[in-house]
Amino acid sequence: RYSSRDPLSPYLFLFVVEVFSAMLVEVERRGEIHGLGVSRSVSRISHLLFADNIIIFGQARDGAFESIKQILEFYERASGQQINLEKSSMIVCHDVAEREQVRMAAILGVQLVAKHDKYLGLPTIAVDQGRNYFTQ
């Protein structure tokens, strides 16, 4: 086990996060999760990584949350880090039944929230103004 003061520590973190990312890409390739489609001409987005933050995009489908939970558990075992579920949350589109939303949040062990106003300084929902949010 390496300490955070070890000069290799940042590189080991990046290596483990890269494996985590590759696992999400693989379960999407197998059809277990379905990322966010932003355009027909580009690949779907299953996740975004920034420093020690991650956003996972997906559809509310059977088995998807179990697959994500397995990857999160593998990450914890492989990295020796523990995901802080108290700081983790999930947003679900309004067309998913409330009972199903609660079930999915329980599978992951995270809180269910209606929305986040901003994430890393950017709005999480840009419905009415579209691009204008990102040009300010």
Q: Are 68 and 88 in contact (CB under 8 A)?
A: no
Q: Picking from 1-5, 23-27, 30-34, which range would have the lowest pLDDT averaged per residue?
A: 1-5
pLDDT at 1 over 70: no
pLDDT level of residue 3 (50, 70, 90 thresholds): low
| Tens digit of each residue's pLDDT (9 = 90 or more) over 97-119 | 889 889 999 999 999 887 766 77
Q: How many CA atoms lie within 13 A of 12 on its CB side?
A: 14
Torsion angle, alpha carbons of 107, 61, 111, 72, to 10: 60
pLDDT band at 126 (very low <50, low <70, confident <90, very high): low
Using an 8 Å Cβ cutoff, are 111 and 131 in contact?
no
Instruction: Convert the pLDDT of each residue in 30-88 to its tens digit.
Output: 988 888 887 888 888 888 888 778 888 888 887 888 999 999 998 888 888 888 989 88
pLDDT beyond 70 at 26: yes
Question: Residue 22: what pLDDT?
Answer: 92
Q: What is the pLDDT of residue 13?
A: 76
Q: Has residue 92 got a pLDDT over 60?
A: yes
Query: 90-93 — which CB contacts under 8 Å span 24+ positions?
Result: 91/115, 91/116, 91/124, 92/60, 93/60
